Structure 1
Amino acid sequence: MFEQGRYGNAVLVGDAGYACNNYIMTPLEQCSTSAENLYNESHIRTRNCVERLFSVWKRRFPSMAIGLEVSLQNSFPIIIATAVLHNIARRSVESTAPNDSMIINPVSWDAVLARGNINNVNIDAVRTPRNNPTYRRRNEIITNYFSQLAR
C-alpha cells in the first residue's frame, strides 16, 4: 500500500536492516553535518518509542513474542486483534508493565513533512554521494527540516 501511495506523505521508520526508499526512512551510516546528527537522533528516539511499545505489547500478549503457530494468512487477523485488544485495555486503564517516564513523544512525521516543505526542496543543495534518487526523500527531510533546527 505504501508503494501504491495509498498513505500519502506517510513514512515508516526502519532500522539499518531495511533499504531506504521513498517511504522507509533509515538512519544514516555516517553523519557529517549537525542536521544529519539531528536526523539520526530523532530517528533513534522515534524507533525507540516504537520498540518499547512492541515490548509492552509482547508482554501483554506473549504469543506475539514467542511466535504464532498459524499460517501467514491467519496471523494478520491475530496481530490486528491483539493490537485492538491492547488499545482497549489501555483505554480501560488495565494494568500492564509500568510506564516508562523516559519515553519522549517525538514530533509526528506529518509535522516534519509539513514544516519541511518537502515538495519544494532544491535537490542540488543536497550533498553527494547521497544525491541519489533512493535517498531523495530522506535528504529532503534532512535539508528542509533538520537543517533549520541545526542553526
Structure 2
Amino acid sequence: MTTTVFESPLGLVRITGDEHGVSAISCKDVSINENTIESKLVEPVRLAEMQLKEYFAGLRQSFDFPLNPVGTVFQQTVWKALLTVPFGTTLSYLTLSRQLGDEKAIRAVAAANGRNPLWIVVPCHRIIGSDGSLTGYAGGLWRKQWLLEHEGALIKSNQLSLF
C-alpha cells in the first residue's frame, strides 16, 4: 500500500491504495506528517491525487481511476449505487433505498453510506434527508455543505436540487 497526503480547501486529503486501486480517501484537520508521504506512488494513487486536485480546482466532475474499497457485499452494493448520483445533484436516503429495492432498508443504506471509505469519489455527500436537510456526514456537515456548493447542488442555504 502507498499513501499520499495533500492540502485541499477542506483540510488534508489522504489517499491510500495499491496497484489494484485506491482503497481509502479521507480528509482531516491535522498537519502533514512527512513520514506518511511516499515518494514512489502506485499509479492509481497518483491518478487519484491528480484528479482530486482537478476536482477542487473546478476542472473535474467525475473520476476514472481504479477503486478497490473493502466492505461487505451490501456496502459494496450501496457504494456502487452512489456512483450513479450525478455531479451537481442530490438524492435522499429514502430514494436511494427504493432504488436498491427495499425502502425499509433505509437505516442499513444510511449506515453503509456512512462507512464509505472513498470520500468525494464515491459521492456519499450527495445523499441528503427526504426533507432536503444535510444529515450526517463523517467529515462534518460543513464539509458536506462545501462539497454540495462546489458542485452547484446547493441553490441557497439548505435548499438542494433533488433528483
Measured against the shorter chain, the TM-score band is under 0.3
**TM-score normalised by L of structure 2:** 0.22
Higher helix content, 1 or 2: 1
TM norm structure 1: 0.23
Select the structure with the greater relative contact order (CA < 8 A; seq sep ≥ 6): 1
